[in-house]
Amino acid sequence: MRILLTNDDGVHAEGLAVLERIARTLSDDVWIVAPETDQSGLAHSLTLSEPLRLRQVSEKHFALRGTPTDCVIMGVKEVLGGKKPDLVLSGVNNGANMADDVTYSGTIAGAIEGTLQGIKSFAISQAANYVDGERMIPWEIVETFAPELLEKLIKVEMPDWSFMNLNFPNCKPEELQGISVTAQGKLDFGINVEKRSDGRGLPYYWLKFDSRKGDFRDGTDIHALKENKISVTPLKLDLTDYDLLDRIQKAVVA
């Protein structure tokens, strides 16, 4: 099995090294095409106004000055010479990608592009913890449990335009409470704009996440992580609102 890896935290991110170790439990034929720099929050964006610069880091390991979407395209079309891999794994992201966050996530975008290329794809994220204001990532959770879970999930037949979003909880391995197959939850927007001044007194701005409230109902990805469970969420690229479609059709035709 040929596996292509990417992420949005950058080619030197610890989560990518974790993902490579996970992938090598499944196959010896593992390729990496990851962004040269952090591309978090860029979603499913393409680089169209600048050239893409590809750098070989080591054998089967490449860095691209581009987005996660660019990385999957370049991996399939250039690095692998047009020969599609059997599997695309995107991650392991530094922090959860659940609920509304999937629309912003570059990690999710890597799996989206793999899906568009006709490749079975998974986005994988590890929830974070904060200790005295410092972000801590319990990588041992995902590295311990992802290999066996992926072995099971890659055998599941998925329809076109569908992929899986895996989130691992912020807990110790011995505290894991199981696996939940979940629906995408809903969080409040939770982003504010913080205004600052540079050395010359000119204003600049940071987008800042505040505490977020959301739908913690049983059966959602949010609830699963809160209960120290691994969340497995099947997502699809068909964004059509079929419940609304018939009503619009009647309104237009009437």
**Helix (H) and strand (E) counts for the chain?**
6, 13
**Reported pTM:** 0.93
The phi, psi pair for 179, rounded to 5°, reads -125, 135
SS (H, E, C) 95-163: CCCCHHHHHCCHHHHHHHHHHHCCCEEEEEEECCEEECCEEECCHHHHHHHHHHHHHHHCCCCCCCCEE
Which tokens in the block code for residue 201? Answer: 């007194």
Distances (CA, A) of 251 to 246, 247, 254: 9, 6, 5
Burial of 189 from C-beta contacts in 10 A (0-12 / 13-18 / 19+): exposed
**Look-up of token digits 């660019």:** 70
Rounded Cα gap, residues 99 and 93, in angstroms: 15
- Can you give the pLDDT of all 254 residues of the chain as single tens digits? 999 999 999 999 999 999 999 999 999 999 999 999 999 999 999 999 999 999 999 999 999 999 999 999 999 999 999 899 999 999 999 999 999 999 999 999 999 999 999 999 999 999 998 777 788 899 999 999 999 999 999 999 999 999 999 999 999 999 999 999 999 999 876 788 999 999 999 999 998 877 766 667 889 999 999 999 999 999 999 999 999 999 999 899 86
Closest among 42, 30, 37, 116 to 73, alpha carbons compared: 116
